[in-house]
């Protein structure tokens, strides 16, 4: 299959590209490189440096490469930034997807796997989160993704052969087990990379935001899914899509790890006792968030394999230790 991976030069997108190539698919990457890395795209894979809002250029790319399916990762993804710059998020995430779908319609491409998020659920009242949990985003990032889910449903209603899957996933972590690609964000806000940067001495300390939550150790609990498992899920879902399909799946490991558990794992893996301090809670941080991913297992047989937080951290550490400056490391 010929697959266009939008955001394929980014963290999750690059791992999806690696997985698709291993399965024998032909891949084209589309990325405006605003936060992606040219170095993350394998040699021999075409890279189209295009913004999704350039509908004509996207249409030409889809047509020129005879694309069969789109895997759509391209998005801004910082919750705090979305609160400060909501228009950018609606323009890029929602508007960009409208541009992509318009181009797909023009080019006759009717299959898409969309990178959605658990942020569409907001602050659920019950755990674990199922696909039937009410979607009530509490920030523009979550809304920008939920709007896309609605748009996909409307496009499917207008075209009986259009098929899509929206994959709502939780905290993505780790790097390719072979150390070839990894996580390189600026700024970096994800917990495990922040901890590893502290172990490398790149930041002087790590702050725990609140230790009085109603959880076993008082710190927030989150569902950490390894990026390779996530890439596997995208490939499996893509292969299963049939004309007219409308699929929604949660992707996670089905349980959570607390901030302190992750800190302990990072210290053990790195062998560095970096400094940790406690600060006040951050507004909008729910005590616990973790997925029920039974639906995708029941329907497609997918289940997360890399679920040990020490192993997840080890794969990330392998990348960070060998690439302390990300893709700009010598």
CATH number of the domain that residue 145 is part of: 3.40.50.720
The packing angle between helices 191-199 and 259-270, to 10°, is: 40
Residue 141 is among the residues annotated as catalytic for this protein: yes
Q: Which residues pair with 246 in a beta bridge?
A: 164
Contact indicator for 217, 284 with CB cutoff of 8 Å: no
Instruction: Name the active-site residue from 11, 121, 141, 224.
Output: 141
3-state DSSP assignment of residue 49: coil
Residue 61 CA to residue 86 CA, distance in Å, equals 29
Going from the C-alpha of 310 to that of each of 259, 269, 307, the distances in angstroms are 13, 7, 9
Residue 15 CA to residue 118 CA, distance in Å, equals 20
245 belongs to a structural domain:
yes
Structural domain harbouring 263: 191-222+254-328
pLDDT of residue 238: 98
78 belongs to a structural domain:
yes
- Residue 232 sits in the same domain as residue 217: no
Model-level pTM?
0.97
Domain count, the chain: 2
- Residue 88 sits in the same domain as residue 234: yes
- Residue 150 sits in the same domain as residue 244: yes
Contact indicator for 162, 108 with CB cutoff of 8 Å: no
179 belongs to a structural domain:
no
pLDDT by position in tens, the chain (length 330): 999 999 999 999 999 999 999 999 999 999 999 999 999 999 999 999 999 999 999 999 999 999 999 999 999 999 989 999 999 999 999 999 999 999 999 999 999 999 999 999 999 999 999 999 999 999 999 999 999 999 999 999 999 999 999 999 999 999 999 999 999 998 899 999 999 999 999 999 999 999 999 999 999 999 999 999 999 999 999 999 999 999 999 999 999 999 999 999 999 999 999 999 999 998 878 899 999 999 999 999 999 999 999 999 999 999 999 999 999 987
CATH number of the domain that residue 277 is part of: 3.90.25.10
275 belongs to a structural domain:
yes
């Amino acid at each position: 299959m010929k697959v266009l991976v939008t955001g394929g030069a980014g963290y999750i997108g690059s791992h999806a590209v690696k997985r698709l190539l291993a399965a024998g698919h032909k891949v084209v990457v589309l990325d405006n490189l605003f936060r992606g890395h040219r170095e993350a795209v394998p040699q021999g894979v075409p890279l189209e440096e295009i913004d999704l809002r350039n509908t004509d250029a996207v249409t030409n790319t889809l047509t020129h490469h005879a694309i069969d399916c789109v895997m759509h990762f391209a998005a801004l993804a910082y919750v705090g930034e979305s609160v400060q710059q909501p228009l950018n998020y609606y323009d890029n995430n929602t508007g960009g997807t409208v541009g992509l779908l318009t181009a797909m319609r023009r080019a006759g491409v009717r299959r898409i796997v969309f990178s959605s998020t658990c942020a569409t659920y907001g602050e659920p009242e019950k755990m674990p989160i199922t696909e039937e949990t009410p979607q009530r985003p509490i920030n523009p990032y979550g809304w920008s993704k939920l709007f896309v889910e609605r748009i996909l449903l409307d496009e499917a209603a207008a075209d009986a052969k259009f098929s899509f899957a929206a994959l709502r996933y939780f905290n993505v972590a780790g790097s390719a087990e072979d150390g070839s690609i990894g996580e390189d964000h600026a700024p970096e806000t994800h917990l495990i990379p922040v901890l590893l940067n502290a172990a490398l001495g790149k930041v002087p300390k790590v702050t725990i935001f609140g230790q009085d939550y109603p959880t076993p150790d008082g710190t927030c609990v989150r569902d950490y899914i390894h990026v390779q498992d996530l890439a596997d899920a995208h490939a499996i879902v893509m292969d299963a899509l049939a004309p007219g399909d409308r699929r929604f799946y949660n992707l996670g490991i089905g349980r959570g790890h607390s901030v302190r558990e992750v800190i302990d794992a990072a210290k053990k893996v790195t062998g560095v006792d970096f400094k940790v301090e406690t600060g006040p809670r951050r507004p909008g941080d729910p005590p616990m968030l973790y997925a029920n991913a039974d639906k995708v297992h029941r329907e497609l047989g997918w289940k997360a394999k890399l679920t040990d937080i020490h192993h997840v951290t080890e794969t990330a550490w392998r990348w960070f230790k060998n690439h302390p400056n990300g893709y700009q490391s010598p």
